[in-house]
Structure formats: C-alpha cells, structure tokens
C-alpha cells in the first residue's frame, strides 16, 4: 500500500505510522459501542454506525484513531499548516543543523494574480508573461544570493540560529505530525477547499490520498456529509423560501434579510452546487410553511 507521495519540486508526504495499525474503521466502531460493550456487528451495521456518527457530528470515536506523518514542504506552507494546533509536531531545527540547499521555485504557469474577491487569496488567470518570468527569475537570483550568504556566514563562525535569518520562506523544512482522525478530517476540509492556498491544497490532498485506503468507510462518510455537502443556514433557507414565493431577485431578498454582499455571493454559490439557478426560479402558486 502506498505510504509516500511526492509534492511539488522536492516536497513529499509520508505516512509513517497509525494507531491502531490495522482495522482503523473498526477502532471507530469499537469506541462508539463501548457503552454497551459491543464491537463489530458486521460490515453493514458498522458502516451505518460510522455514517450516523459523521452525519450527527459525534466526533469522539474518530479521535481514537491516529496518524503520524513525516512531511517535507516549503516554510511558507509549513507555517500555515502548523496553525492547526490539534496535533503534535516536531520540526527540523536550523539551530542544530545546517539548512540543505533546497528551495521551492514555482513554474511560470503556476504564478497567480491577487484575487479581487478574496483579500488573502489568488486567482490562476492568464498572468502577463513578462511579469511572471521576471518574478521567477528574481526569486532564483535572491535565493542563490541568500544561500551563498548563509553558507559564508556559517564558515565565518556565525551561529546557525542567527545565520538562518538570511534564508527566504521558500526554503524546505521537515517535520513529524501526529494527529487524530477527527482533527485530520477537519484539517482536510479546510485545506483541500478551493479557497485554500494552492500549495497547501496539494499537500493536504496527498494526506487524504494516503489515509483513504486505511479508513474507507469513514472517508466515504466524510466526503458525503462534510466535504461534498452543502450546508444551508437559517437565513439561507428563508431566502430560498422567499425566492420560491416571489419574483424578487436573490440580491434583493438577501439585502432585506440583512445579508452582506459576501453572504449573498456565498448563497448563490450554494444554490448552484445544488443545481438551483437563482435567476430562473419561478414563484410557486401555493404559499409554503415557514422554514
């Protein structure tokens, strides 16, 4: 079974250990049925239970399964990764050892423009060629100069903990990362989302690919009820009801309900995921009960 996936120019994700080492879905079932002392009741019953737990957000049984990864990624990705605090981490230290001569340089086709909608995001559009080439060339030049200055500082006797200040954020780092299944699924929901930075999406998708064969029932439930699900808030359902009963536009209804422009845009996206065209809904003849 695959336990390592390469990501980017020199990065990778390795699954080095699990707890328990076998029957990981069964461990979830056993934890859930501990109150009555029962374990497995067969594949059909166990599958139904796991899907019930996922659907109703009974999370503690999923915390009984743990994964330990060894990851290698650029520092700017690792700093986002480590914001997810429900995990144990031990990272390569540039205080104790010299930093290897490895740096993540993106391809020209991977250069993105700043998003005009999401202040912290980017868009993969037709980026002007000259600007993209210049950006990558400057990155290569700065990296070479920085790493040369770093190695010269080490040779001159400057402490490693200070010499590392010269290095850019796209240098690689390594770390071990141990996390339980519940918190890993929360992480994957956030970091595989299309709004997450592309580079961290790639590493998160690698984690997802590695664990999927080990907890297939849980992953299927996660994909059905969380990852690919569409959640409607109370204001969302009110707007949908009003749209079905009137000829007002989604924007008009949203404003009357006190929704911001962002909330209205997000609601439109939800409707389209549900194959509902918010501009083609015709009012119903009969009034519906309040939702």
Mean local confidence (pLDDT), 43-69: 96
Neighbours of 79 (CB within 10 A): 12
CATH of range 4-89+171-227; options 3.30.930.10, 3.30.1360.170, 1.10.1040.10, 3.40.50.720: 3.30.1360.170
Confidence of residue 286 (pLDDT cuts 50, 70, 90): low
SS3 19: strand
Confidence of residue 2 (pLDDT cuts 50, 70, 90): confident
Confidence of residue 78 (pLDDT cuts 50, 70, 90): very high
Q: Which amino acids are annotated catalytic?
A: 191
**Angstrom distance (rounded) from CA 14 to CA 271:** 38
Mean local confidence (pLDDT), 69-93: 95
Sign (positive or negative) of CA dihedral 237, 59, 215, 211: positive
Question: Phi and psi for 204 in degrees, rounded to 5?
Answer: -65, -40
Residue 150, phi-psi category: left (phi > 0), alpha (psi -120 to 50), beta (remainder): alpha
Residue spans of the domains in the chain: they are 4-89+171-227, 112-166, 231-291
pLDDT at 287 over 70: no
**Mean pLDDT over each residue of the chain, to the nearest integer:** 90
Do residues 68 and 16 make contact, with C-beta atoms less than 8 angstroms apart? yes
**Angstrom distance (rounded) from CA 77 to CA 203:** 9
**Angstrom distance (rounded) from CA 99 to CA 97:** 6
Q: What is this structure's pTM?
A: 0.87
Structure-block tokens of residue 59: 């999370």
């Amino acid at each position: 079974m695959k336990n390592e996936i390469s990501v980017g120019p020199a990065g990778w994700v390795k699954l080095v250990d699990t707890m328990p080492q076998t029957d990981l879905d069964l461990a979830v079932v056993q934890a859930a049925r501990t109150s009555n002392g029962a374990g497995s009741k067969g594949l059909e019953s166990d599958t139904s239970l796991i899907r019930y737990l996922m659907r109703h957000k009974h999370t503690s049984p999923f915390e009984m399964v743990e994964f330990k990864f060894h990851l290698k990624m650029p520092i700017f990705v690792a700093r986002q990764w480590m914001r997810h605090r429900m995990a144990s981490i031990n990272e390569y230290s540039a205080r104790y050892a010299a930093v290897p001569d490895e740096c993540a340089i993106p391809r020209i086709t991977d250069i993105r423009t700043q998003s005009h909608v999401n202040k912290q995001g980017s868009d993969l559009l037709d980026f002007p060629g000259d600007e993209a080439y210049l950006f990558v060339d400057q990155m290569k030049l700065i990296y070479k100069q920085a790493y040369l200055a770093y190695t010269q500082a080490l040779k001159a006797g400057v402490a490693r903990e200070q010499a590392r200040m010269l290095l850019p954020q796209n240098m690689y780092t390594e770390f071990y990362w141990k996390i339980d299944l519940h918190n890993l699924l929360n992480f994957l929901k956030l970091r595989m989302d299309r709004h997450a930075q592309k580079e961290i999406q790639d590493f998160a998708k690698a984690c997802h690919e590695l664990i999927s064969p080990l907890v297939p029932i849980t992953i299927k439930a996660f994909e059905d009820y969380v990852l690919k699900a569409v959640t409607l808030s109370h204001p969302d359902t009110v707007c949908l009801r009003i749209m079905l009963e009137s000829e007002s536009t989604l924007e008009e209804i949203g404003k009357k309900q006190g929704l911001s422009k962002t909330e209205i845009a997000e609601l439109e996206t939800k409707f389209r995921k549900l194959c509902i065209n918010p501009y083609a809904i015709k009012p119903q003849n009969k009034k519906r009960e309040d939702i």
